[in-house]
């Protein structure tokens, strides 16, 4: 009984822009200021700034914060690489 069990799972890949739009909408629906809440999350990394409504908190945690910031800057500057 010295066999190694293999655990296989698929990593979900999330598009940063779609996640930001989804989270923005969820925050708005719950009556929060999306700008304030997203800023708090991006600065601190604390997921409690993001509502659990519509699975927003789980989704945003699947994307690295640097990718989210990159997406925001890219859209603000009007260019994508």
| pLDDT for res 4 | 72
pTM (whole model) above 0.85: no
* Tokens 């260019």 sit on residue: 79
What is residue 41's three-state secondary structure? helix
Task: Give residue 80's pLDDT.
Answer: 54
Per-residue pLDDT of the chain (81 residues; tens, 9 = 90+): 677 766 665 555 689 999 999 999 999 999 999 999 999 999 999 999 999 999 999 999 999 999 999 999 999 998 655
What single string gives the DSSP state of each residue in 8-37? --PPP---HHHHHHHHHHHHHHTT--HHHH
1's CB contacts (< 8 A; 6+ apart) are none
Q: Which residue has the tokens 């719950």?
A: 30
Residue 77 CA to residue 65 CA, distance in Å, equals: 18
Q: What is the pLDDT of residue 79?
A: 66
């Amino acid at each position: 009984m010295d066999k190694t069990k293999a655990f296989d799972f698929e990593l979900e890949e999330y598009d940063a822009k779609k996640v930001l739009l989804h989270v923005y909408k969820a925050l708005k629906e719950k009556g929060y200021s999306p700008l304030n809440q997203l800023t708090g999350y991006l600065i601190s990394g604390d997921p409690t700034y993001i509502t659990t409504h519509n699975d927003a908190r789980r989704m945003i945690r699947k994307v690295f914060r640097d990718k989210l910031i990159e997406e925001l800057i890219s859209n603000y500057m009007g260019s994508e690489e």
